[in-house]
Amino acid sequence: TTTVMSATPAPSGIEQQLVDRLRATVQSYLSRMQYKSAAFWADKLVSLSRGQPKDVYNYCQCLYLTKQYHRAIHHLKQRQLHVRTVAGCHLTALCHYDSGEFNDALAVLDSAAAGNGGTAADTGGFNASQWLASASRVLDDDNLTASTEWQQLPQLDEFGLPCRPLAGSLALLRGRVFESLGVRPRAVHCFVDALRKDAYCYEAFEALFGSQNLRASEEAELLANLHFDEACQTPEEAKLLQLVYGNRVNKYGPPKELEVPDSIVALKDNGDLVTSLAERYFYACHFHECQQLTSSVLANDPFNDLCLPLHIAALKELGKDNQLFLLGHQLVELYPSRPISWYAVGCYYLCIHDKEMARRYLMKCTRMNRYFGPGWIALGHALAEDTEHDQAIAAYTTAIQAMQGSHVPYLYIGLEYGLTNNLPLASEFFDQAVELCPNDPFLLHERGVTYFNARDYAKAEEQFRLAVGRIDELSGEMPSSFWEPVFNNLGHTCRKLKRYDEAIQHHQRAWSLYPGNAATLTALGYAFALNGDFDRAVDHLTRSLSLNSDDKFSSQLLSKLVEVMAETHLPWLDSLLGDRGDSLPTMNWQDLPDRKPASLAMESPSGASLSG
């Protein structure tokens, strides 16, 4: 039976005192998180206040907090609060959502947005349906523009229930419902709507930026259009939002110290801001600096959700398997139902090169949350290391659904096609990745490798130089040793274009980044020989063989050089080498397991290539 709200007689003086006392008691128990006690006395309060809407709503809130969702739905719908008040609509849909009844939740929200509810006459002059329709308005699918009618909503309705503050909450809930139904584009629109209606709604911000549903350009555009000055009452509030949100967005920027305004300088050591800085170090491949920062954050907040995936990836890149083992064991013991726990375990097994166990636990991670992008990327890495290229591509393809605004899944798919020598498909996916993130040095490098393998050396040089320029921008004069293959491959390309002096310079820079790589010494010896500097060629080839005595190419080249040291022209080189160096195969990471880039889903690709 539906009970229509009507004017109810106010309690008498003594009753009113008792009602006020019970209201204070209910709020007191809620503040102490004693929800059952709050629900018990809220039930008595509804009777004593003769079903006042505000008391009914508070009672249903208590039922929600005690997970009695359908009981709350019954009382809300019995008194038509779900169509006559914004707060009642939100709570009813939220109960359906947490019960797993996503279609019913959407029906409640759609009914409100369509204006199916009471009239001004029913509610004493307050047209709840009109306000609900305005508050529930969703972004236009084509131009991402939103209605501003919700701004005319009052702060409270005539029953004293929140109205305008819930406009953003309704949009957020609608987005969660669409996300649960698998309609990701609609969900993204709703999250954008929620953030525009409530700039402080971090849940909407996290849903957009944390899961990489937007492209980098869309992120920057959205952040610029949030108009913090209008959403905030003071300039300090606007600076706060700009600092906190802005640091989360520009993850591919150069790592530099946070610039915090003096008025909020105390935020400089905040864990989330430090994590944002650590993320920039990670993408610039400064893994030691990244791990130092994440360790400092976790020392104060051991289970920081934002920091943990980054910390795990940094430990994997640094090969710190003991720390990964301890962290994974701790997470599984405390949070066995969270995907991050099994992600840590899978990364540990990747670190010790137990590919079968890594696949098992990473699959468990992705089953717990199909939208956990890091899990899918890590699973793809585990499959790729086992040369299961088709399955790896399938994992990366699934990651696209979880990270629709990220270029990384496309990059890895292109990388796998490159490994199978399917250069047209590799180029196609690299092009898609470039549309999403045109300045990623990993991506630029892999495109250069593809052009090199296709013997288009001019385009290969262009891509390698773009990658080097971006690396210098990110890392300054001393990049991470991780970037050594980029400089070596640029040297190979210059050698193919017969610019031997330039080739030598790039190989020397590669050697300065990663001393001890025999392939770099071989490349230098080869370039010196072609340039006519036989003494230095012999020196570098000898040093190369001291590091890798099984290198047949270095051994043969050294023997020939020793035989013809007096000669100035070496026509036999072309016949000796044949097609040697005409391709740059993507690196077999099983040969250099300790230097595989960012396996773990933080998004830095494993695309460096062998010197050749």
Lowest mean pLDDT among 173-177, 190-194, 471-475: 471-475
Task: Decide if 133 is inside a domain.
Answer: no
CATH number of domain containing 495:
1.25.40.10
Q: Is residue 464 in some structural domain?
A: yes
74 burial level (CB within 10 Å; 0-12, 13-18, 19+): middle
Give the pLDDT of residue 482. 85
Q: Is 433 within the bounds of a domain?
A: yes
Q: Are 392 and 383 in contact (CB under 8 A)?
A: yes
Is the residue at 476 inside a domain? yes
Cβ atoms of 72 and 90 closer than 8 Å? no
Residues 6+ apart with CB under 8 A from 489: 445, 448, 449, 452, 464, 584, 609, 611
Kindly give the residue spans of alpha helices, DSSP state H, lying in 67-101. 69-78, 81-84, 86-98
Domain count, the chain: 1
- Among 29-33, 111-115, 193-197, 208-212, whose mean pLDDT is lowest? 111-115
Lowest mean pLDDT among 211-220, 284-293, 475-484, 600-609: 600-609
Does residue 72 fall inside a structural domain? no
Higher pLDDT, 9 or 290: 290
Residues of the domain holding 430: 405-571
Point out the least confidently predicted range of 15-24, 201-210, 308-317, 441-450.
201-210
Answer whether residue 520 is part of any domain.
yes
The C-alpha atoms of residue 394 and residue 161 are separated, in whole angstroms, by 49
> What's the pTM?
0.77
In a domain, 398, yes or no: no
Is the confidence at residue 563, as pLDDT, over 60? yes
Q: What is the mean pLDDT of residues 557-569?
A: 74
At how many degrees (to 10) do helices 339-351 and 355-368 cross?
Answer: 170
Q: Is 586 helix (H, G, I), strand (E, B) or coil?
A: strand
The residue count for the chain: 612
- pLDDT the model gives residue 567: 56
Q: Where are the alpha helices (DSSP H) in 255-354?
A: 271-283, 287-300, 308-317, 321-334, 339-351
Q: Please give the residue that has the higher pLDDT: either 565 or 49.
A: 49
Side-chain half-sphere exposure of 357, counting CA atoms within 13 A: 11
Within 8 A by CB and 6+ apart from 316, the residues are 324, 347, 350, 351, 598, 599, 600
Other residues' Cβ atoms within 10 Å of the Cβ of residue 234: 10
Cβ neighbours of 326 (radius 10 Å)? 13
How far is CA 481 from its chain centroid? 25
Does 516 fall in a domain?
yes
